[in-house]
Amino acid sequence: MLPDASSEQQDSQTRNWAMILHLSQFAGYLLPFAGLLAPLIIWQVKKTELPALDEHGRIVMNWIVSAFIYAIVFSVLIFVIVGIPLLIVLGVLAIAFPIIGAVKASSGVAWRYPLSIRLFG
């Protein structure tokens, strides 16, 4: 049985929006709070239209909240010197994870970011 053309189109749209959702975290480097608001808005607006996008939205929001928590803890640990390298590692992961997530999403895989705390399921 051949796949339905509309389901293929919806799958393609889901993959494209999921990739945009992961990469939208970089908006925070241009505008304050845009790295939080852009993924949140994309997720909330598109999740009813593209149900498979909901999982990607949860993954991205879990990482954003987790990275924020880690940044607070690591900032406190600066006073014991160990926080400085941990913040550097967190900065590298904050760049690498969205790129890996976007590449995986473009191929149709919902990749859970390592070290993210599952707050949104």
Q: Which domain holds residue 52?
A: 11-106
Each residue's pLDDT tens digit, 50-72: 999 999 999 999 999 999 999 99
Q: Is residue 55 part of a domain?
A: yes
Q: Is residue 6 part of a domain?
A: no
Q: Is residue 50 part of a domain?
A: yes
When pLDDT is averaged across residues 4-20 and rounded to a whole number, the result is 88
pLDDT of residue 99: 97
Percent of the chain having pLDDT more than 90? 88
Each residue's pLDDT tens digit, 98-121: 999 999 999 999 999 999 999 987
Q: Is residue 86 part of a domain?
A: yes
3-state secondary structure of 62: helix
Q: Is residue 64 part of a domain?
A: yes
Under DSSP, the state recorded for 49 is T
Q: Is residue 17 part of a domain?
A: yes
Q: Is residue 25 part of a domain?
A: yes
How many domains are there within the chain? Answer: 1
Q: Is residue 120 part of a domain?
A: no
Average pLDDT, the chain: 93
pLDDT at 93 over 80: yes
pLDDT of residue 121: 75
